[in-house]
Amino acid sequence: MTFRSFAIGLTLAFGIAWMAVVVVPFFSMRDVKPVAFDEAADGKTGIYFPKRTGRVANGAEVYASNGCYLCHTQVVRTTDAGNDLGRADWGGNKTDETRGDTRRESNVFDYQGEKFAQIGVSRLGPDLSNIGLRVQNYVKESNGDPKTWLYLHLYNPRLDPKLSTSKCPSLPFLFEDKAITGQTPVAALAVPTKEGRAIVPTPEAESLVSYLLSLKRDDALPKAINPAPAAKPAAAPAAAPKG
Ligand code: HEC
């Protein structure tokens, strides 16, 4: 092999990958236009607006600075990339009370309000695209507070008997061990502490929990950007055979 063909081969091998993974997605996603609902396909008109509430920008910073993205993805893969819709409650609720199966693939609007889309590096832990709804489901039966579940998980995931061998790191530095005089603060975690002290979340923990709770996939999308909903709408009943 001559040096010339080696250099051309090397440039092509990296160049094609760079075009496909960096250049094409950049130009197709840098200026996304709003998507309209289609009367015929969606049964309503108007523009789709991704709703998201919480301390998204601040929380995303705490999420990034603590390396959550190293073990958790935030992308429910599209069908052509190895579909994730088979996983219960990842891209929506598998059994939503009002809408049935709402699972769907991720789309570019899911990262609204974030400077950086935290798609993640590996999946040592489960995908967190829909963690807000998942935690709501966990605490539904016991009538618990999703925030409390998340604070305890962040403080030490292994305190939950079901997760006693969890690989998710504890983040005690996101909490303050405070001396209390008088009443115990409402936000104090129900964990063993020394007499006269309480563990309370810092503002960073509050932002992170607010961010995690904003991760919900519960909005109805226009068909145009939801090509593969988990459950196809119920088919019209078949006509009775004649004769
Ligand atoms: C070393 C890898 C690792 C890192 C880093 C990590 N996690 Fe986890 N996480 C896991 C694993 C593994 C699980 C699976 C359940 C378990 O074992 O607790 C998990 C579970 C979770 C869950 C519960 C998910 C569910 O579906 O029930 C939440 C919420 C969570 N992690 C949040 C975070 C946040 C927030 C951060 C960053 C501060 C973080 N994790 C960093 C590995 C990690």
Span 61-74, pLDDT tens digits: 999 999 999 999 99
Give mean pLDDT, residues 150-167.
94
Report the separation in Å between the CA atom of 167 and the middle of ligand 1, taken as the mean of its atom positions: 7
**For the chain, how are helix, strand and coil distributed in percent, rounded to 5?**
40, 5, 55
pLDDT at 42: 87
Evaluate: CB of 121 within 6 angstroms of ligand 1: no
- What percentage of the chain reaches a pLDDT higher than 90? 59
Q: Whose CA is nearest to atom 8 of ligand 1?
A: 168
Is the pLDDT assigned to residue 241 strictly greater than 60?
no
As beta bridge partners, residue 203 has none
As beta bridge partners, residue 179 has 197
Q: Is 242 contained in some domain?
A: no
- The answer to whether the beta carbons of residues 84 and 76 sit under 8 Å apart is yes
Is the pLDDT assigned to residue 216 strictly greater than 60?
yes
Is the pLDDT assigned to residue 233 strictly greater than 60?
no
The whole-chain average pLDDT of the chain stands at 90
Give mean pLDDT, residues 5-26.
95
Evaluate: CB of 137 within 6 angstroms of ligand 1: no
pLDDT confidence band for 197 (50 / 70 / 90): very high
pLDDT at 236: 47
pLDDT confidence band for 5 (50 / 70 / 90): very high
Q: Is 8 contained in some domain?
A: no
Evaluate: CB of 126 within 6 angstroms of ligand 1: yes
Evaluate: CB of 153 within 6 angstroms of ligand 1: yes
pLDDT at 37: 92
pLDDT at 71: 97
Evaluate: CB of 52 within 6 angstroms of ligand 1: no
Q: Is 185 contained in some domain?
A: no
Is the pLDDT assigned to residue 179 strictly greater than 90?
yes
Name the helix (H) or strand (E) containing 3.
Answer: helix 3-18
Q: Encoding tokens for residue 2?
A: 């001559």
Q: Encoding tokens for residue 12?
A: 């092509």
Q: Encoding tokens for residue 229?
A: 């909903």
Q: Which of 120, 131, 121, 107 is nearest to 32 (CA)?
A: 107
Report the separation in Å between the CA atom of 222 and the middle of ligand 1, taken as the mean of its atom positions: 31
pLDDT at 140: 92
Alpha helices (H) along 105-170:
131-140, 146-155
Evaluate: CB of 71 within 6 angstroms of ligand 1: yes
Q: Which of 60, 158, 173, 164 is nearest to 117 (CA)?
A: 60
Q: Is 174 contained in some domain?
A: no
CB half-sphere exposure, 167, CA atoms < 13 A: 8
Q: Is 231 contained in some domain?
A: no
Give mean pLDDT, residues 184-201.
91
pLDDT at 97: 84
Q: Is 181 contained in some domain?
A: no
CATH number, domain at 120? 1.10.760
Which residue out of 58, 66, 69, 72 has the highest number of ligand 1 atoms within 8 Å of its CB and is therefore the one to mutate?
72
Structural domain of 138: 13-168+206-225
Evaluate: CB of 152 within 6 angstroms of ligand 1: no
Q: Is 53 contained in some domain?
A: yes
Give mean pLDDT, residues 23-42.
89
Q: Whose CA is nearest to atom 25 of ligand 1?
A: 126
Query: Total domain count for the chain?
Result: 1
Q: Is 164 contained in some domain?
A: yes
Evaluate: CB of 147 within 6 angstroms of ligand 1: no
Give mean pLDDT, residues 21-41.
90
Evaluate: CB of 199 within 6 angstroms of ligand 1: no
